[in-house]
Amino acid sequence: MSGPQDVGIRQRARGAPGGRASQAQSPISEPDDDHLAAYRARDGEGWSIEHVLETREASVGIVGVLTLLAFALRFYKINHPDQVVFDEVHFGKFAAHYIQREYYFDVHPPLTKLLFGLAGWFVGFDGTFKFESIGDSYTDAHVPYVGMRALPAMFGSLTIPVVYAIMKESGYSNVIAAFSACLILFDNAHIAQSRLILLDAPLIFFMSLTIYSYIRYRKLRYLEFSPAWWGWLLATGTFMACTWSSKVNGVLTVATIGIAVLIDLWDILDIKKGYSIEYFWKHFVARAVSLIALPITLYLLFFYIHLSVLTYSGPGDTFMSPAFQETLRDNELLMNSQEIRYYDHITIKHKDTKVFLHSHPERYPLKYDDGRISSQGQQVTGYAHDDLNNHWQIIPTKALPETGRGRIVRHEDIIQLLHVNTQTLLLTHDVASPTMPTNEEVTTWPKDDHSRYNDTLFHLRLVDANPGGSWKTKSGHFKLIHVPTKVALWTFPGQLPDWAFNQQEVNGKKEIAEKSTIWYADDILATEDGEVKSADEIGHTEPKKMNFFKKFGELQILMLQHNAGLIASHPYASGPFNWPFLVSGISFWTQNEGQKQIYLTGNLLGWLACTFGVAIFVGILGADLLARRRGVDPIPLPVRNRLWNSTGFFLLVWAVHYFPFYLMGRQLFLHHYLPSHLASALVAGSVLHFVLSETINYPISLRGPSTRPQPPQKADIGMKGPVVVAVFAVFMFGLFVYIAPLTYGTPGLTGEQVNARRLLNTWTLHFAAKKTDHV
């Protein structure tokens, strides 16, 4: 990104090293703005196809045709299949929740799902269909699914003109721009992904718009702080926020722009550019406002809408903290939560494993299999089912008033728990638990025997409670800390042997900060005066208020935790290394009747072209670096600047959207590569241009008041450009049509046809014909 001044100097100094470059420059160094005229004058023929193709009218025509084709390919038979496909299970369901306004939890930010909800609402979906499993019929349930699918299809189609525009704005000719657009246009993976209710098409659309706006903004860098400059900068921020709010992966787009801006700012800071430090801060603040403050505000706004739409209790409740849950209408906590008083009989449940704290008269065996000794006390276990042995009574350790609110159990109280059936008190002590030598055994002790009184004392610590907060059923999550030894009552999904009827082990854990030590009181079964209030009597059903930022913060943390926690293996998950080579796809949907299936896989030809493009480009950069280190300048300066700054930016987009996946432990799928694939299509276009011709359109940035005019150049890729692109597009289209049955899920294929379409033997297609081996 060196300044235009030195470009001029270097060029003049270099003279004319190669015949081609000087040839391209000479006719247009005249003060003639009409490049077409210059070309005609030089070539002597006015209407050769390649020049017609480069006119503005041709550009409009090309983009029109491409867009029409994009819509046609993405909307073709969009009603098929009329069944729930792949992740529509999730995202369709979320749309239904928006319409029903039921709270749900998901790892992705809400923008796209809100749009799906909106689309569903617009086409009259009532939200009663819950997208339970893949293959559920839409037609039977009268779901207007076509309307919902049309949304991503539209986004997917509109991505094509944006890609074209990115290439155009970056200074490539119409033909090259069309080439990059075709790589996306005829790509089976992009099409399959955008025809279904999935988040990726909107994500990719917003991502391409971000790139486009950023390039427009960069081109205005000599007209800094002009209205257009501000406009495109703000647009970059806005689209960046949309990308990020569409799917978690959008963070990578934010990172891309962040890196590009840092490089840009670093250049401004360079003393050789001659800018003052005040000037730098001015630029810095402009970017901070547009690319940090604005996106965050928008991101918050989407969550604000999300939380204001979802005001009813729904399947997402249990993920949230009790305080959060109480803000949801009809929530169970709101309906059933009541304050616990001393001497109440309650059942206690473990939050993570949902077992009741249980005890029964059987005792721990004196000696375990590994030779350790127990106290032979009464067993305390975790038991998953309702049972009389789950009842515990809360015994105070302080004097209580006769009546009134003084009898309520509060945060930080010291209590004893009496097992009602055996009339023994919960106790733990410094004896190793049955299966874990590091943890303390939990047992009980007769209530009349006061010799172990201290060991029966437990500190009731409510989670996130204020001092003096009352303990409530359902909502009052708590930890029970043993007073003398400071261990927390804990259980985990580990079974005890037969002597405890394979129930779950309960023991005292030293790591009291761990979240797995949280329990809650499930229900009050009897009170001192014998009356138990029913749900209706409790009354206060009006949802509570909670600060938006608190809710947002809680939700963000949960989203991050759950995203990192998605590590279960999936049969179609694949590693990032496979993606650029399209080693495997994802089976989205199958139907035995008619042997139909949707299999997410890209257009092999296109993907390989993209990957090849990236590889060549990296090779060019490496060769250029080496050559320059040895004092050789093989590439003319404007061309090198174009390669490093424009194509380099595309490569940055590709790398930032790709390599971080290597660091992720979560399950990964082919569709995570689609944003990178789009970037690699841009790289491939530029590389094709570089291979075809050493000329570029230059300059493409708008001239500022203080910029010196540059002798303009015009790219000339000759006739071979359109020919190569046309031939490639035809082949790509052919391959696209060939594997289209896997993309559209129709028509069905016979076993042999499936086999024939298995272009790589790593693709796991369904309905493949068995190999008929001759014996």
Partner 1 sequence: MSAGVRVRRAASPPPSLPQAAPRFPNPRHHDHLDADERRAAASRGYVPGRKSHAPGGVNLTSAEWKLLGVVVLIAFGVRLFRLSRPDSVVFDEVHFGKFASKYIKSSYFVDVHPPLAKLLITLAGFLSGYDGNFDFKDIAKVYENVPYVAMRLVPALLGVLTVPISYLTLRALDCRATTALMASLFITFENGMITQSRHILLDSPLIFFTALTVLLWTGFCNEDKHQPFTEGWWTWLALTGLSLGAVVSCKWVGLFTIATIGFGTIKQLWILLGDLRVPPRLWIKHFIARAICLILVPILFYMFMFWIHFAILTGSGDGDGFMSSEFQHTLRGRHMADTYADVAIGSTITIRHVNTQGGYLHSHPHNYPTGSQQQQITLYPHRDSNNDWRIVNGTDHGNPYTDWDVDPISYVNINTRVKLRHISTEKSLHSHDFRPPVSDVDFQQEVSAYGMPNFAGDANDDWIVEIVKGDPKDTESWKRIKTLKTHFRLRHALTGCYLFSHKTKLPDWAYEQQEVTCNKNAVMANSLWYVETSEHPNCKFPENAPRANYKKPGFFKKFLELQQVMWITNAGLTDRHNFDSRPDAWPRIRRGINFWVKDHRQIYLLGNPMVWWLSSAAVFSYIAVRGFLILRAQRGYRDFESTKVVKYDTLCGFLFVGWALHYLPFYLMNRQLFLHHYFPALYFSILLACSVFDLVTSTLRPRVRLQIAAVLLIIAVWNYVYFSPLVYGNPWTKAKCRSAQWFKTWDFSWYVRHSAYLCLC
Q: In 558-575, which positions are buried (b, 16+ CB within 10 angstroms) versus exposed (e)?
A: bbeeeeeeeeeeeebbbe
Least spacing, CB of residue 626 vs partner 1, in Å: 7
3-state secondary structure 146-189: HHHHHHHHHHHHHHHHHHHHHHHHCCCCHHHHHHHHHHHHCCHH
Which of 450, 397, 458 shows the shortest CA–CA distance to 427? 458
Least spacing, CB of residue 264 vs partner 1, in Å: 13
Nearer to partner 1, 325 or 597 (CB): 597
- Angle of helix 200-219 versus helix 251-269 axis, rounded to 10: 10
Residue 45 φ/ψ, nearest 5 degrees = -125, 135
Residue 275 φ/ψ, nearest 5 degrees = -95, 150
Report the C-alpha gap between 167 and 212 in whole angstroms.
9
Least spacing, CB of residue 441 vs partner 1, in Å: 14
Kindly report each contact of residues 139-144 with a partner whose C-beta sits within 8 Å and lies 24 or more positions away, as own/partner: 139/82, 144/120
Least spacing, CB of residue 407 vs partner 1, in Å: 36
Report the C-alpha gap between 139 and 136 in whole angstroms.
9
Least spacing, CB of residue 5 vs partner 1, in Å: 17
Least spacing, CB of residue 288 vs partner 1, in Å: 18
Nearer to partner 1, 276 or 466 (CB): 276
Least spacing, CB of residue 363 vs partner 1, in Å: 21
Any idea how long the chain is?
775
Nearer to partner 1, 388 or 663 (CB): 663
The string of DSSP letters for 588-651 reads: EEEETTTTEEEEE---HHHHHHHHHHHHHHHHHHHHHHHHHHTT---S-HHHHHIIIIIIHHHH
Neighbour count for residue 293 (Cβ, 10 Å) = 12
Please say whether the beta carbons of 301 and 309 come within 8 A: no
Residue with tokens 């106790």: 427
Residue 541 φ/ψ, nearest 5 degrees = -95, 0
Nearer to partner 1, 45 or 773 (CB): 773
Least spacing, CB of residue 770 vs partner 1, in Å: 9
Within 13 Å and on the Cβ side, how many CA atoms surround 543?
A: 19
Residue 442 pairs in a beta bridge with 428
Residue with tokens 């709101």: 334
Which of 524, 359, 386, 373 shows the shortest CA–CA distance to 442? 359
Nearer to partner 1, 68 or 564 (CB): 564
Nearer to partner 1, 137 or 502 (CB): 502
Nearer to partner 1, 84 or 184 (CB): 84
Report the C-alpha gap between 215 and 208 in whole angstroms.
11
DSSP annotation of 410 reads B
Which of 170, 478, 521 shows the shortest CA–CA distance to 337? 521
Least spacing, CB of residue 630 vs partner 1, in Å: 7
Within 13 Å and on the Cβ side, how many CA atoms surround 760?
A: 14
Nearer to partner 1, 298 or 670 (CB): 670
Give Cα separations from 377 to 297, 446, 487, 498, 694 (angstroms): 59, 10, 18, 17, 87
Nearer to partner 1, 318 or 438 (CB): 438
Q: Cis link prior to 81 (omega < 30° from 0)?
A: yes
Residue with tokens 């854990």: 509
Secondary structure (3-state) at 334: helix
Nearer to partner 1, 499 or 548 (CB): 499
Site for partner 1, rule CB under 8 A: 266, 269-272, 277, 430, 438, 571, 626, 629-631, 663, 665, 773, 775
Least spacing, CB of residue 12 vs partner 1, in Å: 24
Nearer to partner 1, 273 or 533 (CB): 273
Nearer to partner 1, 626 or 756 (CB): 626
Least spacing, CB of residue 384 vs partner 1, in Å: 17
Least spacing, CB of residue 40 vs partner 1, in Å: 45
Nearer to partner 1, 269 or 305 (CB): 269
Nearer to partner 1, 529 or 773 (CB): 773
Least spacing, CB of residue 287 vs partner 1, in Å: 17
Nearer to partner 1, 445 or 736 (CB): 445
Least spacing, CB of residue 466 vs partner 1, in Å: 26
Least spacing, CB of residue 486 vs partner 1, in Å: 11
Nearer to partner 1, 72 or 277 (CB): 277
Least spacing, CB of residue 773 vs partner 1, in Å: 6
Residue 391 pairs in a beta bridge with 347
Least spacing, CB of residue 271 vs partner 1, in Å: 3
Q: In 663-672, which positions are buried (b, 16+ CB within 10 angstroms) versus exposed (e)?
A: eeebebbbbb
Report the C-alpha gap between 653 and 676 in whole angstroms.
7
Nearer to partner 1, 57 or 773 (CB): 773
Give Cα separations from 304 to 115, 157, 553 (angstroms): 14, 29, 12
3-state secondary structure 220-272: CHHHCCCHHHHHHHHHHHHHHHHHHHHCHHHHHHHHHHHHHHHHHHHHHHCHH
Report the C-alpha gap between 721 and 688 in whole angstroms.
9
